[in-house]
Amino acid sequence: MFEYFYKYGSPRHFYDLSKMFVPWLGGICLILLIAGLTGGLFFAPPDYQQGESFRIIYVHVPSAWMSLFIYVVMASAGAISLVWKVKVADALARASAPLGASFTFLALATGSLWGKPMWGTWWVWDARLTSELILLFLYLGYMALQTAIDDRRTAARAGAILSLVGVVNIPIIHYSVEWWHTLHQGPTITKLDAPSIHPSMLVPLLIMAFAFMFYYAAVVLLRARYEILENERNSAWVYELTEQRKG
């Protein structure tokens, strides 16, 4: 098992393997995106309280979910890098950070647009909003740390430690609406009992969530391939790959 893990966790094998998956992931993302937007914008009925403005949920909620998911992926990759010294884990963590920051910013921006007509204000120092903003700062801090340290291996270790320390913020974001009295609405989908959202609204939302996930998978593999080439630029296999493309 560990031999298989190290074989396909090597930069060369990961580079070749990821090339096969990217077009499929991108294609599935496009199909899901079209289906989710069509269902959410045209087939889902207006909300009985929020009217048509609720439709921003189809961007806001998947973005918020992805902001948490990507950070957990980044922290997990950092842990693998620290324990097993897998170079691909470093590349995945480094490639994930800008995507996670983008999804976090999108969640905050769409939440602000949604909050203005619903709450009467663009921003409040609500527990959910504040902890999500801290998550954005964690992403930005990770990227700044990678840029500030010239040695990529040292930068990867420092980033891994930062991401592992910051992972404590993830359950705070998730459970903030249950632990504290907040302006942000409570959970409607991730509840132990049945979700308090009609299937005609829920199905497009879940499709959009999967579309965002496949988008992340496709783009992170593309970015990780670049990171691997940058890290391994002096290795023999990258030289051979360059010569093949020249030929």
pLDDT at 132: 96
pLDDT at 188: 63
The answer to whether 178 and 186 are in contact (CB under 8 A) is: yes
Token output for 10: 């090597």
pLDDT at 195: 63
The answer to whether 77 and 93 are in contact (CB under 8 A) is: yes
Alpha helix ranges (H) inside 52-151: 57-84, 87-119, 127-148
Nearest to 105 by CA among 135, 127, 125: 135
**Residue pointed to by tokens 């990759």:** 77
Global pTM value: 0.92
Provide the CB-side half-sphere exposure for 93 (13 A, CA): 32
pLDDT at 233: 86
pLDDT at 186: 62
Q: CA-CA-CA-CA torsion for 84, 74, 162, 158, nearest 10 degrees?
A: 50
Cα separation, 24 vs 169, whole angstroms: 33
pLDDT per residue, tens digit, the chain (247 aa), is 555 556 667 888 899 899 999 999 999 999 999 999 999 999 999 987 788 888 999 999 999 999 999 999 999 999 999 998 889 999 999 999 999 999 999 999 999 998 888 888 888 888 899 999 999 999 999 999 999 999 999 999 999 999 999 999 999 998 887 777 666 666 666 554 566 688 899 999 999 999 999 999 999 999 999 999 999 888 888 888 887 777 5
Element (H, E) at 42: none
pLDDT at 20: 93
Cα separation, 157 vs 145, whole angstroms: 10
Class of domain 24-183+193-246: mainly alpha
